[in-house]
Amino acid sequence: MSYTQLRHNWHRARKEHTCVWCGETIHKGNLYDRVVGVYDGDLQDNCFHPECRLACEEYFRNNPHEDSFELYEQERPKYE
């Protein structure tokens, strides 16, 4: 299995999106990261809360043999 990230850009939401990491809504006006890539030949266009994007990066850093995660099934990190 292979993944190639084509780009990622930070945006201010003009409409609601669903975070691919936690499954919660990214509300209009909130900052989010849009990540576009190719996974096993399929184009992916995913949106992440900023904290979920960091949690995803940490997940793959701590699990170098993993190449995917369960969509919408992870816990959204809580930062104080």
For the cut 90, the answer to whether the pLDDT of residue 31 exceeds it is: yes
Residue range 72-79: average pLDDT? 90
Would the CA dihedral through 11, 15, 20, 25 be positive or negative? positive
Residue range 17-27: average pLDDT? 98
pLDDT at residue 74, as a whole number: 94
Of how many residues is the chain composed?
80
Q: How confident is the model at residue 68 (pLDDT cuts 50, 70, 90)?
A: confident
Query: 20: which 2 tokens?
Result: 């691919």
Residue range 52-73: average pLDDT? 91
Question: Looking at residue 57, what DSSP letter applies?
Answer: H
For the cut 80, the answer to whether the pLDDT of residue 1 exceeds it is: no
